[in-house]
């Protein structure tokens, strides 16, 4: 629903007072700022309460925004400003530090955003179910161990150290390459299955059976490449926010990576919009009902996507945090493309 211009001004004033102070505000305090009489503001506030945009915790206290009020403010009234060039340069330098792998870039972004916003951040690694395996490398490390590297058509890189029972000689490497070329190269990661792996292993001859650990490890890397993993950074920042009635419940929820992945995936699959903002009761899990979640998607390759977001109390500075999240998301996408996006050179 749409509010009158006067109601919008009053709602915006209440939100912009409450976010930095955490204190309810009454009609008298807004008279000079808005140029309306105290009685007019009081009546409009009363109507905004009836409509669900404001709340009054006690009959003698002023008003505070409700989740519905924050939502209307964010959608219709909020003004945001892009980051200053000097801030952008500083953030870029922080993100580039130690950017050796896609996962490291993304983890760095989560840490930087947590320090920047004083909130918890949630980040997911890129995933692309439509991707196929484009390259596999076996790099011997010692006589019986090797680094296994997998690259997908979306530019996602996965690697692990694998050990087998015999020396990794030329025969082992040739056998492994033949099997990889036949069964894995160009296979979609979404189509990899345990049944497929078992069929490949059962067809191995006695001399070739030594490569089983390598094939099992390659299968796991392929599955990981098609799945997104969620990480949380800066949970401790939430302790500094006094708005939470049950902070311990939220902190426990943030440690449950499966639930966290579900939380993010709901929004990733809900629509095609780049940014999602869930406020208070709009969140899908009751542990998040006192929180706001700002999520933004980054792209990596043609189809692979992940998410970077902020979790904080509903009384967060949306006008400042949204540009922060947008910039970090853009920067992550650029860094991933710059460092890992050229599949032909990998």
Q: What is the pLDDT of residues 147-206, one digit of tens each?
A: 999 998 877 788 999 999 999 999 999 999 999 999 999 999 988 999 999 999 998 887
Domain residues for 73?
Answer: 5-77
Q: Looking at per-residue confidence, does 260 or 293 come out higher?
A: 293
Task: Quote the CA–CA distance of 45 and 53 in Å, as a whole number.
Answer: 9
Q: Domain with 141 in it: what CATH number? A: 3.30.390
Q: What pLDDT score does 314 carry? A: 95
Could you say which of 225, 241, 260 is where a domain stops? 225
Lowest mean pLDDT among 139-148, 203-212, 213-222: 203-212
245 shares a domain with 300: yes
% of the chain at pLDDT higher than 70: 93
Q: What pLDDT score does 52 carry? A: 95
The mean pLDDT value for 55-59 works out to: 80
pLDDT at 344 over 50: no
Could you say which of 225, 249, 268 is where a domain stops? 225
Asked whether the beta carbons of 96 and 288 are under 8 A apart, the reply is: no
Average pLDDT, the chain: 87
Nearest CA to 340 among 307, 295, 298? 298
195 shares a domain with 60: no
User: Where is mean pLDDT largest: 6-10, 35-39, 246-250?
Assistant: 6-10
286 shares a domain with 176: no
Could you say which of 39, 56, 77 is where a domain stops? 77
Both tokens assigned to 339 = 């460092």
215 shares a domain with 245: no
DSSP for 108-173, written as a single string = HHHHHHHHHHTSEEEEE--B-TT-BEEEEEEEE-SSSEEEEEEEETT--EEEEEEE-SS---HHHH
pLDDT at 40 over 70: yes
Find tokens 């650990």 and name the residue.
Answer: 213
Domain count, the chain: 3
287 shares a domain with 166: no
Task: Quote the CA–CA distance of 166 and 208 in Å, as a whole number.
Answer: 11
- Which residues 6+ apart lie within 8 Å of 128 measured at CB? 152, 154, 156, 189, 226, 301, 302, 303, 304, 305
Q: What pLDDT score does 267 carry? A: 59
Task: Quote the CA–CA distance of 46 and 53 in Å, as a whole number.
Answer: 10
Distance of CA 209 to the CA centre of its chain: 41
217 shares a domain with 308: no
Q: What pLDDT score does 60 carry? A: 67
341 shares a domain with 255: yes
Asked whether the beta carbons of 235 and 110 are under 8 A apart, the reply is: no
% of the chain at pLDDT higher than 90: 53
291 shares a domain with 256: yes
User: Where is mean pLDDT largest: 86-95, 179-188, 223-232?
Assistant: 179-188
HSE-CB for 54 with a 13 A CA cutoff: 32
Q: What pLDDT score does 345 carry? A: 40
46 shares a domain with 71: yes
Q: What pLDDT score does 90 carry? A: 87
pLDDT at 220 over 90: yes
Instruction: Give the model's confidence band at 343: pLDDT under 50 very low, under 70 low, under 90 confident, else very high.
Output: very low
246 shares a domain with 340: yes
Q: What is the pLDDT of residues 271-316, one digit of tens each?
A: 556 888 999 988 888 899 999 999 998 877 666 678 899 999 999 9
234 shares a domain with 220: no
DSSP state of 304: E
- Which residues 6+ apart lie within 8 Å of 278 measured at CB? 267, 284, 288, 292, 293, 295
The mean pLDDT value for 324-332 works out to: 90
246 shares a domain with 119: yes
pTM, two decimals, is 0.78
């Amino acid at each position: 629903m749409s509010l009158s211009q006067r109601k919008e001004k009053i709602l915006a004033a209440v939100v912009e007072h409450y976010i930095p102070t955490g204190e309810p505000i009454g009609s008298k305090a807004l008279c000079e700022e808005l140029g309306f009489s105290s009685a007019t503001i009081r009546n409009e506030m009363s109507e905004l309460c009836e409509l669900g945009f404001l709340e009054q915790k006690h009959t003698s206290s002023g008003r505070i925004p409700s989740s519905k009020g924050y939502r209307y403010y964010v959608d219709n009234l909020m003004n945001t400003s892009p980051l200053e060039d000097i801030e952008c340069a500083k953030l870029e330098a922080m993100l580039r530090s130690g950017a050796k792998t896609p996962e490291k870039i993304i983890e760095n972004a989560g840490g930087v955003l947590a320090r920047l916003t004083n909130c918890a951040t949630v980040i997911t690694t890129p995933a692309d179910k439509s991707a196929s395996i484009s390259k596999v490398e076996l790099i011997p490390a010692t006589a019986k161990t090797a680094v296994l590297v997998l690259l997908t058509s979306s530019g996602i890189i996965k690697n692990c150290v694998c050990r087998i029972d015999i020396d990794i000689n030329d025969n082992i490497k040739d056998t492994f390459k033949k099997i990889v070329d036949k069964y894995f190269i160009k296979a979609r990661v979404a189509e990899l299955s345990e049944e497929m792996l078992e069929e490949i292993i059962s067809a191995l001859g006695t001399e070739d059976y030594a490569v089983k650990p390598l094939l099992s490890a390659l299968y796991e890397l392929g599955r990981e490449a098609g799945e997104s993993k969620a990480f949380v950074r800066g949970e401790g920042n939430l302790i500094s926010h006094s708005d939470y009635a049950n902070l311990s419940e939220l902190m426990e929820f943030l440690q449950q990576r499966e639930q966290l992945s579900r939380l993010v995936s709901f929004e990733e699959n809900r629509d095609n919009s780049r940014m999602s903002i869930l406020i208070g009761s709009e969140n899908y899990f009751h542990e998040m009902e006192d929180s706001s979640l700002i999520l933004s998607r980054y792209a990596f390759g043609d189809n692979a996507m992940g998410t970077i977001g902020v979790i904080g109390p509903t009384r967060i500075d949306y006008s400042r945090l949204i540009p922060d999240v947008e910039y970090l998301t853009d920067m992550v996408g650029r860094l991933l493309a710059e460092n890992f996006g050229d599949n032909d050179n990998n």
